[in-house]
Amino acid sequence: MGESTRSAPGKSRTGEVEHAAAVAPVDEWRQWRDKRQEFLTSKTGWPALVSYQKLTPDRSRIEQIPAFVQLAESGNGALLTADRDAGVFVDGRQVDGTVLVERLGPEGSPVVSCGRFSFEVFSLDGKDYELRVYDEAGENRARFERVLTYDYDPLMVLPARLVRSSEEEEVPWEFTRAEDTGHSKRVPATIEVGYAGQLYELAPFRDGPALVITFADATTGVESYTPGRFLRFVPPNETDEVHLDFNRAFIPPCGFSNFYSCPVPPPQNRLPIDIRAGERRALWRSGPLES
């Protein structure tokens, strides 16, 4: 991005179930789909993001609450200052003075909370930082209904192979927010996957212990979200053989709030095939996503 989605064991920041029980694949997928809905409708789910504030070394007031914030000299987060009676908490611990709030991790913490608002210290690549602002009473959150998905398809669980690089490469990336384009992603491997007699070489980026493929396909912009969807998985250490389960392809954060900045699929991840699996698009109670 909040206790309900960020600190629950076995759950990532996307709302995915990391360690599901040994059940039938279609039932496991239903669990994943339900956990996604639970996460997205929570008070700190992606539709609740209402603003962001650029962080600098100069102390500035947080608009929504009686507190101040500035970029930490160490470069690994932000310094948050608030009086005890302000009612500001970091991961449930009350702030009284100045504390370090580290950069948001892939597990979804730390989170600052005060009343109806929640905050995260976020950076794409450790260079520029921003404070993300979530409002549990926000209009988008109230208007979000659910995510439309394709039916589960066992044929969309595709065998693939990791071709690991000797060193992780820092690759400049395009983002939905133009000012963020050029920030880099760490690309540790190429993923070779075959479909309908063709071999495709996909570029994943690292997100903590996981790899993320941001991809577009022939359904993008027609049936599914533009500019593409994400597929996240944790690669095994003992083998290069993996399975890409496109039934768990999901709409990225920018599909739920225009205040997110999402990586755009690079050319090699724009597939000329139909991936009719996973999430399709968000359903809103009235009209399109609010700007």
Instruction: Please report the pLDDT score of residue 7 as a whole number.
Output: 30
Closest CA to 91 of 2, 14, 10: 2
pLDDT of residue 4: 29
How many CA atoms lie within 13 Å of 225's alpha carbon, on the beta-carbon side?
29
Tens digit of pLDDT for each residue in 244-284? 999 999 999 999 999 999 999 999 999 999 999 999 999 99
Rounded Cα gap, residues 50 and 7, in angstroms: 22
Residue 122 and residue 50 share a domain: yes
Mean pLDDT calculated for residue range 211-220: 98
* Same domain for 194 and 77: no
Tell whether 79 and 199 lie within a shared domain: no
User: How many residues make up the chain in this entry?
Assistant: 291
Tens-place pLDDT, residues 95-151? 999 999 999 988 889 999 999 999 999 998 888 899 999 999 999 999 999 999 999
At 1 the pLDDT is 35
pLDDT value at residue 12: 59
Mean pLDDT estimate for the chain: 91
- Starting at the edge strand that comes first in sequence, how are the strands of the sheet with 77-82 ordered? 60-61, 68-71, 77-82, 97-102
Predicted confidence (pLDDT) at residue 204 exceeds the cutoff of 80: yes
Quick one: which H or E segment has residue 210?
A: strand 210-215
Q: Say whether both 151 and 208 belong to one domain.
A: yes
Q: Are residues 66 and 193 in the same domain?
A: no
Same domain, 32 and 105: yes
How do residues 183-198 score in pLDDT, each as one tens digit?
999 999 999 999 999 9
Contacting residues for 35 by C-beta, under 8 A, at least 6 apart? 11, 15, 16, 17
The per-residue pLDDT for 290 is: 59
- 15 confidence band (pLDDT: 50, 70, 90): low
Instruction: Tell whether 289 is covered by a domain.
Output: no
What's the pLDDT score for residue 111?
96
Total number of domains in the chain: 2
Residue 5 lies in domain:
1-144
pTM of the predicted protein model: 0.88
Residue 8 scores a pLDDT above 70 = no
DSSP-derived pairing of the beta strands 112-114 and 68-71: unpaired
